[in-house]
Amino acid sequence: MHLATCRTGKVFILYDADSLCDANLTPQITPQLFSPAHWRETGRVVGEAPGRGSSLFLDADGAQWVLRPYRRGGLMARFARQRYLWTGRERTRAFRELRLTAELYARGLPVPRPVAAAVTHHGLCYEAALITVRITDARSLADRLIEGSASDALLEAVGRTIRRFHDTGLDHVDLNARNLLVDAEERVWLIDLDRCRLRTPGSWQEANLRRLDRSLAKFGASEDGATIRRGYADVTTAWRG
- Which positions are catalytic? 174
Three-state DSSP at 173 gives coil
Q: Which residues pair with 37 in a beta bridge?
A: none
Which phi and psi (to 5°) does residue 122 adopt?
Answer: -125, 80
Tell me how far apart the alpha carbons of residues 175 and 177 are, in angstroms, rounded to a whole number: 7
Contacts of 114 (CB under 8 A, 6+ apart): 1, 16, 19, 98, 101, 102, 105, 130, 131, 132, 133
DSSP assignment of 117-148 equals EEEEEETTEEEEEEEEEPPTT-EEHHHHHHHT
- Over the Cα atoms of the chain, what is R_g? 18
Q: If we measure between CA atoms, which residue out of 22, 112, 23, 20 comes closest to residue 60?
A: 23
Residues counted in the chain: 241
Three-state DSSP at 98 gives helix
